[in-house]
Amino acid sequence: MEDLAALQHTFQNCVLHVEEKLSTDWVSASGRATPDVQISVYSHAYRARLNEVLANDFPAMHMAIGDEHFYTIADKYIESYPSSYFSLREFGRDMPAYILDLVENNKTDPSIHWPDMYWLYELGKFEWALGQTFDAKDSALFTEQDMAAIDPEVWPDLKFQLHPSVQRIDLQCNSPEMWIALTADEPQHVTAEQEEESAWLIWRDDFITRFRSMQKDEQLAFDELFKGKDFNDMCEALSTVMDDDDVPMQAASFLKTWITQGLIVSVSM
């Protein structure tokens, strides 16, 4: 067993670190290809499959910067973050953070000025969120009829459980419109600039991934729900941006919207 583990470790090192020209004396030379060629086949296949995974996970990013730049970044990402997951679905998890590191540290590339590429990080962040939302497990939804059956006197203490697919992100760039334009059948150019940071909801409706922006009042209320706070906390947050008399009706209106859109699966006290 120890010999097998050592052999597996040696094989892995040769596949992952082909540039180090590690010894292949342990590989049989009786085949139709030399030991070096045999190892290179596996090394190439390993990187090619991971490149394919990243291109599938980040299609808008790929389209935005083209094959050459995308696969150069992907190759470096593969070196920095060797696959450590049983499922390839998780392999690209650190890609947005990797892009952000390139941007913030102005990593050199003869054809990319990284300080101007913050939008690429946010585009990747948005794409990864879409993928995670699509893959999230399902759950039975809470309905308006369920809400109507709850005694109004206990509403202040109600807490709301979100559907597993729901995600909430802030974006400084125009990433959602960029994603729509870049993944269209006929990709279009869209500027990354927007006037101010925007709050976004992402969730899955049956097999369709949906997303939309939120105005400031809805964002304040939803963020309380997202943090596990109760209905009363939502109302207190709304009271910072509107008259107290308008708060209960507005909070109830937001709650109805979230329920009808399939964002909530249960309530508790």
Tell me how far apart the terminal alpha carbons of the chain are, to the nearest angstrom: 54
Q: Evaluate if residue 72 carries a pLDDT over 60.
A: yes
Q: Evaluate if residue 258 carries a pLDDT over 60.
A: yes
192 is a domain residue: yes
131 is a domain residue: no
pLDDT in tens, 186-234: 988 888 888 789 999 999 998 999 999 999 999 999 999 999 999 999 9
127 is a domain residue: no
Confidence of residue 47 (pLDDT cuts 50, 70, 90): confident
Among 155, 133, 158, 167, residue whose Cα is nearest residue 266 = 158
Residue 177 has what pLDDT? 94
Asked if 203 contacts 133 with a C-beta cutoff of 8 angstroms, the reply is yes
Report DSSP state, residue 67: H
**Residues 61, 149: one domain?**
no
Q: Evaluate if residue 26 carries a pLDDT over 90.
A: no
168 is a domain residue: yes
**Residues 103, 194: one domain?**
no
**Residues 144, 46: one domain?**
no
> How far is residue 231's CA from residue 252's CA, in Å, rounded to a whole number?
9
> How far is residue 141's CA from residue 150's CA, in Å, rounded to a whole number?
16
128 is a domain residue: no
**Residues 60, 144: one domain?**
no
3-state DSSP assignment of residue 264:
strand
Report DSSP state, residue 230: B
Total domains in the chain come to 2
**Residues 258, 185: one domain?**
yes
Residue 4 has what pLDDT? 62
**Residue where a domain terminates, one of 62, 87, 116:** 116
Q: Evaluate if residue 9 carries a pLDDT over 70.
A: no
* One-letter amino acid of 157: D
126 is a domain residue: no
Which domain does 94 fall in, by range? Answer: 1-116
**Residues 186, 236: one domain?**
yes
Return mean pLDDT, the chain.
Answer: 87
**Residues 155, 112: one domain?**
no
Q: Evaluate if residue 45 carries a pLDDT over 80.
A: no
132 is a domain residue: no
Residue 105 has what pLDDT? 84
**Residues 82, 155: one domain?**
no
Report DSSP state, residue 140: P
**Residues 80, 190: one domain?**
no
Beta strands in the chain (DSSP E): 159-162, 167-171, 198-205, 208-214, 264-268
Among 72, 60, 92, residue whose Cα is nearest residue 174 = 60
| CATH number for position 167 | 3.90.930.50
Tokens of 123: 């585009």
**Residues 78, 147: one domain?**
no
How crowded is the C-beta side of 208, counted as CA atoms within 13 Å? 5
108 is a domain residue: yes
Of 95-109, 152-166, 190-204, give the lowest mean pLDDT range.
Answer: 95-109
